[in-house]
Amino acid sequence: MIRKNIIFILITTFTLSNTNIEVKEMMNSMTLKEKIAQMIMVRVRSDYYASDSYYKKEIENWIINKKVGGLITFDGNGNVHGMFNNHKYFQSISKIPLLIASDLERGAGQQMEGATLFPSNMAIAATGDSYNAYLQGEITAKEAKALGIHIIFAPVLDVNNNPSNPIINLRSYSDDSDIVSDFGLQFIKGIQDQGLYACPKHFPGHGNTSVDSHASLPVINSSISELNNIELKPFKNAVDNNVKMIMMGHIAVPALDPSSKPASHSYKITTELLVKDW
């Protein structure tokens, strides 16, 4: 059974112009299945879809009939024009405005041609000036906003303190948690000053791993003290500085949850630590 207090509709907090009463009425009229659908994002590419495209028809079905709440934009072979038009079309067929997100760690150019592509986070940090991270966030947000994107799945706040890490490495600002915090906070501010949502990742920290969580489950066996001083520090600073969202990692951290569930499935890590304690 899904608890009533965790059924929420992200989309109504962002783009609806309705009053609170109208939003409540809309929520009250929804079935449980429709409320769950509002918490789901489906993938869209930057290509132009042919009118008879199988996948375009799938997205249309998810939006019109299943009433999913959002889209997540991923690469493809297209450009900013295809992305803009895809977002515009799919918004036009959705009864409730879609919440659209994209993984733009290195700017909008990471997902499509014709937008700005920045160097890796480690290169940004190598400049020694965290204002560059702010500018990157600001430019990324302006381009994303022009394309109809609301959420930026960035920055990476993982501290890259394991030289054998196969998936984070240059995506991290540093192996120093203070540098990661400083540059990460500036990127977040650049995004959120433009009215978009920053979503740092991968909580509670993916830096001290030697395996890729896309393929298997990393286990971080650090102590609570080590976690507080390294992995958790950038995320705690982000929360204290009004970050809008946090992305959970598929990472087991026994010191935080002895059951060794991945953080993304752990009540202790997601709810007790992140939501209640922080």
What are 70-121's pLDDT values in tens digits?
A: 999 987 678 999 999 999 999 999 999 999 999 999 999 999 999 999 999 9
pLDDT tens per residue, range 238-263 = 999 999 999 999 999 999 999 999 99
User: Does 92 fall in a domain?
Assistant: yes
One domain for residues 175 and 255:
yes
User: Does 113 fall in a domain?
Assistant: no
One domain for residues 87 and 175:
no
One domain for residues 178 and 239:
yes
One domain for residues 38 and 91:
yes
pLDDT of residue 6: 35
User: Does 72 fall in a domain?
Assistant: yes
Within 13 Å of residue 61, how many CA atoms lie on the same side as its CB? 6
pLDDT of residue 19: 63
User: Does 112 fall in a domain?
Assistant: no
User: Does 75 fall in a domain?
Assistant: yes
pLDDT of residue 248: 96
One domain for residues 263 and 157:
yes
Q: Is 198 helix (H, G, I), strand (E, B) or coil?
A: strand
Within 13 Å of residue 124, how many CA atoms lie on the same side as its CB? 29
One domain for residues 124 and 96:
no
One domain for residues 267 and 135:
yes
Q: Which one of 43, 76, 102 terminates a domain?
A: 102
Structure tokens at 97: 């405005």
One domain for residues 137 and 84:
no
Q: At what angle do helices 54-64 and 80-92 cross, to 10 degrees?
A: 40
Q: Is 76 helix (H, G, I), strand (E, B) or coil?
A: coil
| Total count of domains within the chain | 2
User: Does 111 fall in a domain?
Assistant: no
Could you give the CA distance from residue 209 to residue 197 in angstroms, rounded to a whole number?
27
One domain for residues 49 and 145:
no
Average pLDDT rounded to a whole number, residues 10-33: 70
One domain for residues 159 and 87:
no
pLDDT band at 16 (very low <50, low <70, confident <90, very high): very low
One domain for residues 206 and 276:
yes
Question: How is residue 226 annotated by DSSP?
Answer: H
How large a percentage of the chain has pLDDT more than 70?
93
One domain for residues 135 and 251:
yes
Q: Which one of 48, 76, 102 terminates a domain?
A: 102
pLDDT of residue 18: 46
Contact 162, 209 (CB under 8 A): yes
Could you give the CA distance from residue 116 to residue 176 in angstroms, rounded to a whole number?
27
pLDDT of residue 47: 87
Question: Between these two residues, 84 and 14, which has the higher pLDDT value?
Answer: 84
Q: Is 94 helix (H, G, I), strand (E, B) or coil?
A: coil
User: Does 108 fall in a domain?
Assistant: no
Domain that holds residue 175: 118-278
Residue 112: CB atoms within 10 A of its CB come to 27
Task: Name every residue whose Cβ is closer than 8 Å to that of residue 224 and which is 6 or more positions away in sequence.
Answer: 255, 256
Residue 242's region, left for phi above 0, alpha for psi from -120 to 50, else beta, is left
Strands (E), the chain: 41-44, 70-73, 99-102, 151-152, 197-198
Domain at 137, CATH number: 3.20.20.300
User: Does 109 fall in a domain?
Assistant: no
pLDDT tens per residue, range 126-165 = 999 999 999 999 999 999 999 999 999 999 999 999 999 9
Instruction: Kindly report the length of the chain.
Output: 278
Contact 47, 87 (CB under 8 A): no
pLDDT band at 54 (very low <50, low <70, confident <90, very high): very high
pTM above 0.85, yes or no: yes
Give ∠ CA 155-55-47 in degrees, rounded to 5.
55
Q: What is the DSSP string of 152-176?
A: E---B------TT-SSSGGGSS-SS
Contact 248, 264 (CB under 8 A): yes
From residue 216, alpha-carbon distances to 159, 161, 166, 172, 250 in Å are 20, 19, 12, 20, 9
Q: Which one of 67, 102, 137 terminates a domain?
A: 102
